[in-house]
Amino acid sequence: MRLKKKRKPFTLFKKETQSGPVWYARFWNEASRCYAVARSTGVFAEGKKERRYEAEQTAREMLPQLSFNPPQPEKPFIKYLEDFWTPGSPYIQEAALVKKRPLALAYI
């Protein structure tokens, strides 16, 4: 039996932006056993060492502020459609706000 590998709380990667390459941190969620959240550190990758140490420090500061939302149970597709088209559903309410009038019951 293989032991579970202890993961680092985050990994760094560079992403090219219009302003230049920026360090991003991808954070590990132990509960779901996957990298769940990626955030920009705001540190540009420039210079000889590309400011990696500074990006790591920024990611460590971001770590306590993260919250991993628990995974939502998957809903069967038919149930999703039924909930989508019931009067009072979030979609129906939002459509009424956007169109500035409620949807007709015959349409729903």
- Asked whether residue 80 falls in the same domain as residue 38, the answer is no
Q: What is the pLDDT of residue 48?
A: 84
Q: Using one digit for the tens of pLDDT, what is the confidence trace for 9-20?
A: 899 999 999 999
| 33: alpha, beta or left? (left if phi > 0; alpha if psi -120 to 50) | left
Residues of the chain with pLDDT under 70: 1-4, 70-72
pLDDT value, residue 71:
62
Same domain, 17 and 59: yes
pTM of the model: 0.58
User: Please, what is the Cα angle at 11 between 40 and 56, to 5 degrees?
Assistant: 65
Tens digit of pLDDT for each residue in 74-85? 778 888 888 888
At residue 105, the pLDDT reads 80
Contacts of 28 (CB under 8 A, 6+ apart): 7, 8, 9, 10, 11, 34, 35, 36
- Considering the domain architecture, whether residues 93 and 108 belong to the same structural domain is answered as yes
Domain residues for 16? 10-65
